Amino acid sequence: MSNRKWYYKLRSKYRMVIFNDETFEERFIFRLTRLNVLSVFISLGIIFTSLTFILIIYTPIKEYIPGYPSDYQRESLIKLNVLADSLQNELTSKDIFFESIKNIVEGKDFVEEPELQTTENKSYDSIKLKSSIEDSLLRLEFESQNLHNLYISETTETTEKDLVSIRNLSFYPPVEGIVTSKFDLSENHFGIDIVSKHNSAIKAILDGTVIFSGWTLETGYIVALQHEQNIISFYKHNSVLLKKQGEIVSAGEPIAIIGESGEISTGPHLHFELWHNGTPVNPADYIIF
């Protein structure tokens, strides 16, 4: 019986009249029930709550909520993480480079610092590359050319007479700088490393022909020149190549710009190699750096 009375109370009608305070004239009359008033307040609450959620989700107001990052902040964090990682690697490389220069200035024996080779952390064996027919033909043509054959055959020997003859040649220094790593066959270091000024021009040591001008994974941008008396010179880790394969160059003519390209480079320098009759020789024996 009490529940029924409660229900009837909700449906009981009331009249709300608005009078003019001076004339007591009736201006507005509202006939209401408790159920109608309750329904109106519940509907208004649902509408305002829905509008609030829509406003937060589809407008930038949500960025002002504590702990809610914006899309711009997420993108900035990712870029900053990548930049910080790159700067850390760059600082490590520079520290090794300046430590090597310090050892040279103090007259200490130059010790080859461990190079920052990311290839140890990379699994290149898992990469499956399919060579095209054009690539295979290009490789076959390149390897079959006698000018590019740097391997020592059983019948090819570098005699003392040949070494004396090439000493009589006037070699042009490829770049002015400091020799930071010497020629060492035992360590498979077939040339010398020269540190020079930023963006220094690399120059041809003799008149010759460009037999290779391109990029490799380990040593970056390379230029190779064929000279007289079966002499070949290599210029590695360049940042820019100024000559193309097949071009004829003169001694002292710029052929590249010094750089640090390639996986095994730890700073801007030139790795210079000199080969005679297919055998690497010490460039310091023939050129004054």
46 vs 53: CA distance, rounded Å: 11
63 vs 55: CA distance, rounded Å: 12
| Largest distance between two CA atoms of the chain | 133
Q: Which pLDDT score, from 0 to 100, does residue 209 have?
A: 95
Name 279's Cβ contacts closer than 8 Å, sequence gap at least 6: 152, 156, 158
145 within 8 A of 245, measured Cβ to Cβ: no
216 vs 218: CA distance, rounded Å: 6
Sorted by where each starts, the structural domains of the chain and their CATH numbers stand as 2-64 (no CATH), 71-116 (no CATH), 158-285 (2.70.70.10)
195 within 8 A of 240, measured Cβ to Cβ: no
202 within 8 A of 175, measured Cβ to Cβ: yes
| Cβ count within 10 A of residue 57 | 9
Per-residue pLDDT of the chain in tens (289 residues, 90 and over written 9): 455 566 667 777 778 788 887 877 877 787 778 788 888 889 999 999 999 888 877 877 776 776 666 666 777 888 888 888 888 888 887 887 778 777 777 766 655 555 544 545 556 566 666 667 777 777 766 665 544 444 444 444 455 556 667 778 889 999 998 998 999 988 889 999 999 888 899 999 999 999 999 998 888 899 999 998 899 999 999 999 999 999 999 999 999 999 988 877 677 889 999 999 888 999 988 888 7
DSSP string of 176-229?
-SEEEE--BGGGTB-EEEEE--TTPEEE-SSSEEEEEEEEETTTEEEEEEEEGG
Helix or strand or coil: residue 64?
A: helix
Helix or strand or coil: residue 68?
A: coil
